[in-house]
Amino acid sequence: MNFQLTEEQRQIRETVHDLCLERVEPRAAAIDESGEFPWDIKDLFAKHDILGIPFPPEYGGVSGSALSTILAIEEISKFCATSSLILAVQSLGSLPITLAGSEAQKRKFLPPLARGEQLAAYALTEPGSGSDAGGMRTRATRQGDQYVISGSKTFITGGSVADIVIVFARTDQDGDAPARDISAFIVDKQSPGFRVGKLEKKLGIRGSPTAQLFFEDMVVPAANRLGSEGDGFRIAMRVLDHSRPGIAAQALGIAEGALDLARRYARERKQFGQPISAFQGIQFMLADMATQVEAARVLTYTAGDALDRRQPGISLTSSMAKLHASDTAMRVTTDAVQILGGYGYLREFPAERMMRDAKITQIYEGTNEIQRLVIARELLKQP
């Protein structure tokens, strides 16, 4: 696909690709096997300014372009989905500040994130409120010039390694308030009362920690609230509109990696005296895989470009990209395992890891069932 990229975007894509081919791909299997956060890869990305891509130059970043961030996430994901989350979550965790923070908050919190000196995370989900984010129970009570937050969050990607966490909590006091009574806070991990719970053991993205977070009368300065009281739900939904194309990019990269693997294997593997790529059944599978990948690429890049141009209707575009790309990743990685046959089922080859990693893209940042609801809602709004 000949999507019109700027010279800067082409350079970012090429730089990230070459770095990951040389340094990340050799680590991918070990990261998955150990299930430990790859601090060496985080430091590598910080050293080469990859973590600065989501941030504008005025806050110490490299680009600030959504499409540039998408290109970088895609390239990393071709080699290691876990490593791509270091960048994707850095973008997600900082987006509330970028979109809703005051100038003082941006200048205080964004530069260390752009330099990779600190990591960010986004804490929305609770044990009793996943897709129903408005049903959260964590509470923030105003006491003078600070808030006291009590509650918990679950399934927080990077929650145990983040230095800064955006926490959403209710600021109403009647016990049964609507979503409009949720507020957002910038929380330092050193805040009194902040505690990390267990780390989940997962099917895929095993080197990316997924944590429970507990807030036990956690004290947060009122100056760390984003926007006004009650703006939190609106901020959260706006952030997801901006972050879903990043998950689409992750899914796209996983699918591309699996397609490249399957194509190489089909050319080399011989059965009945010829490469299996000579068989029509394999050719048709590869044709379908490639077509699905290209369609996902168009949707994903279009969503990133729409964000950069601040075009209306981004909820529809973002949800379509995330839905199609993640479904594509699951189909393409499953087919890659099938093409590799018995070898596809072995952990010695990356196909099975790609299939395990692909599954989460259909679930986080809003399940694909939620994406279909969003898409339908936006379509029915149109005249």
Q: Which residues belong to the active site?
A: 365
CB within 8 A of 36, min separation 6: which ones?
Answer: 207
How far is it, in rounded angstroms, from Cα 231 to Cα 218?
20
| Strands (E) located in 41-179 | 120-123, 139-143, 146-157, 164-170
**DSSP symbol at 145:** T
- Polymer length of the chain: 383
Task: Render the burial of 108-143: b for 16+ CB within 10 Å, e for the rest.
Answer: ebbbbbbebebbbbbbbbbeebbeebbebebbbeee
Residue in 171, 195, 175, 198 with CA at minimum distance from that of residue 185: 171
How far is it, in rounded angstroms, from Cα 122 to Cα 364?
12
How far is it, in rounded angstroms, from Cα 210 to Cα 359?
15
Beta strand 182-188 with 194-199: parallel, antiparallel or unpaired? unpaired
Half-sphere exposure of 269 (CA within 13 A, CB side): 16
